Amino acid sequence: MKKEDRNIYISNIDLDEAIDSYFEKINFENNSYEEIDVYDCLDRVTIECIFAKNSSPHYNSAAMDGIAVISQNTMGASEVNPKILELNKDFIYVNTGNVINDDYNGVIMIEDVMELENDKVQIIAPAYPWQHIRPIGEDIVAGEMILPSNHKIRPIDIGALISGGISKVKVFKKPIVSIIPTGSEIIENIDELEKGKILDTNSRVFENLVNKYGGISNRYSPQRDDYEKLKSTIDEASKNSDLVVVNAGTSAGSKDFIVKVIREIGEVVVHGIALKPGKPTILGIVNNKPVVGIPGYPVSAYIVFEEIAKRIILKWSGLDKEQEDTYDAILSKRLVSSLKHKEIVRVNLGYINEKLVATPLTRGAGVTMSLVKADGLLEIPRNYEGIEAGSTVKVKILKPMNEIKNSLVSIGSHDIVMDILANKMNLSSGHVGSMGGIMAIKRDEAHIAPIHLLDMNTGEYNVSYVKKYFKDEKMALIKGLRRLQGFIVQKGNPKNIQKFEDLISKDVSYINRQRGAGTRLLLDYNLNKLNICVDEVIGYEREMNTHMAVAVTVKSESADTGLGVMSVAKAMDLDFISVGYESYDFLIREENLKDKKIKKFIDILKSEEFKSEVEKLGGYEFDKIGEVVHI
Ligand X SMILES: Nc1nc2c(c(=O)[nH]1)N[C@H]1C(S)=C(S)[C@@H](COP(=O)(O)OP(=O)(O)OC[C@H]3O[C@@H](n4cnc5c(N)ncnc54)[C@H](O)[C@@H]3O)O[C@H]1N2
For ligand MOO, the binding residues (CB under 6 A) are: 276-279, 295, 297, 300, 365
Site residues for ligand X, 131-190, by CB under 6 A, read: 181, 183, 186
- Closer residue to ligand X (CB): 293 or 518: 293
Nearest residue (beta carbon) to ligand X: 296
Question: Of 502, 520, 454, 492, which is closest to residue 576 (Cα–Cα)?
Answer: 492
Q: How far is the CB of 306 from ligand MOO (least distance, A)?
A: 13
By CB under 6 A, name the one of 104, 220, 297, 302 that touches ligand X: 297
By CB under 6 A, name the one of 248, 273, 274, 347 that touches ligand X: 248
Cα 491 to Cα 509, 519, 542, 557, 575, distances in angstroms: 16, 22, 22, 11, 5
**30 is in the binding site of which of ligand X, ligand MOO, none (Cβ under 5 to 8 A by kind)?**
none
- Closer residue to ligand X (CB): 214 or 296: 296
Residue 94: in which H helix or E strand, if any?
strand 91-94
Site residues for ligand X, 574-593, by CB under 6 A, read: none
Q: How far is the CB of 580 from ligand MOO (least distance, A)?
A: 44
Q: How far is the CB of 344 from ligand X (least distance, A)?
A: 13
By CB under 6 A, name the one of 298, 376, 433, 539 that touches ligand X: 298
- Closer residue to ligand X (CB): 186 or 588: 186
* Paired sense of beta strands 475-489 and 427-431, if any: unpaired
**553 is in the binding site of which of ligand X, ligand MOO, none (Cβ under 5 to 8 A by kind)?**
none
Site residues for ligand X, 376-435, by CB under 6 A, read: none
By CB under 6 A, name the one of 87, 109, 252, 367 that touches ligand X: 252
- Closer residue to ligand X (CB): 256 or 585: 256
By CB under 6 A, name the one of 344, 365, 559, 614 that touches ligand X: 365
- Closer residue to ligand X (CB): 292 or 312: 292
Q: How far is the CB of 249 from ligand MOO (least distance, A)?
A: 13
- Closer residue to ligand X (CB): 142 or 252: 252
- Closer residue to ligand X (CB): 5 or 115: 5
- Closer residue to ligand X (CB): 44 or 341: 341
| Cis peptide upstream of residue 57 (ω within 30 degrees of 0) | yes
DSSP state of 140: B
- Closer residue to ligand X (CB): 194 or 507: 194
Gyration radius of the chain over CA positions:
34
- Closer residue to ligand MOO (CB): 276 or 483: 276
Compute the 3-state secondary structure of the chain and give helix, strand, coil in percent, each to the nearest 5.
Answer: 30, 30, 40
Give 14: exposed, middle or buried? Use CB within 10 Å, 0-12, 13-18, 19+: middle
| Contact predicate 329/376, CB 8 Å | yes
- Closer residue to ligand MOO (CB): 274 or 503: 274
Cα 566 to Cα 136, 479, 574, distances in angstroms: 75, 20, 9
Q: How far is the CB of 187 from ligand X (least distance, A)?
A: 9
3-state secondary structure of 326: strand
- Closer residue to ligand X (CB): 205 or 352: 205
Q: Does 200 bind ligand X (CB under 6 A)?
A: yes
Q: From CA 410, how far away is CA 584, in angstroms rounded? A: 13
**601 is in the binding site of which of ligand X, ligand MOO, none (Cβ under 5 to 8 A by kind)?**
none
The C-alpha angle with vertex 594 and arms to 593 and 597, in degrees rounded to 5, equals 85
> Which residue stretches of 479-573 are H helix?
518-529, 547-555, 566-571
By CB under 6 A, name the one of 90, 157, 242, 256 that touches ligand X: 256
Q: Does 201 bind ligand X (CB under 6 A)?
A: yes
DSSP readout, 445-485? Answer: --SEEEE--B-TTT--BSHHHHHHHSTTS-EEEEEEEEEEE
Q: Does 12 bind ligand X (CB under 6 A)?
A: no
**504 is in the binding site of which of ligand MOO, ligand X, none (Cβ under 5 to 8 A by kind)?**
none
Question: Cα 427 to chain center, whole Å?
Answer: 14
Site residues for ligand X, 277-296, by CB under 6 A, read: 277, 279-280, 295-296
**241 is in the binding site of which of ligand MOO, ligand X, none (Cβ under 5 to 8 A by kind)?**
none
Q: From CA 473, how far away is CA 395, in angstroms rounded? A: 31
Q: From CA 107, how far away is CA 129, in angstroms rounded? A: 9
**576 is in the binding site of which of ligand MOO, ligand X, none (Cβ under 5 to 8 A by kind)?**
none
- Closer residue to ligand X (CB): 214 or 293: 293
The C-alpha angle with vertex 6 and arms to 5 and 7, in degrees rounded to 5, equals 135
Instruction: Annotate each residue in 218-247 with x if it binds ligand X (CB under 6 A) or - if it does not, as one string.
Output: -----------------------------x
| Contact predicate 170/37, CB 8 Å | no
Site residues for ligand X, 597-616, by CB under 6 A, read: none
Q: Does 454 bind ligand X (CB under 6 A)?
A: no
Q: How far is the CB of 290 from ligand X (least distance, A)?
A: 18
By CB under 6 A, name the one of 61, 74, 300, 546 that touches ligand X: 300
Q: Does 343 bind ligand X (CB under 6 A)?
A: no
Q: What is the largest CA-CA distance in the chain?
A: 112
3-state secondary structure of 229: helix
Cα 198 to Cα 93, 187, 366, distances in angstroms: 74, 6, 12
CB environment 356-377: b (16+ within 10 A), e (fewer): bbbbbbebebebbebbebbbbb
Q: From CA 259, how far away is CA 283, in angstroms rounded? A: 9
Q: Does 198 bind ligand X (CB under 6 A)?
A: yes
Neighbours of 399 (CB within 10 A): 14
Q: Which residues bind ligand X (CB under 6 A)?
A: 10, 181, 183, 186, 198, 200-203, 247-253, 256, 277, 279-280, 295-298, 300, 365-366
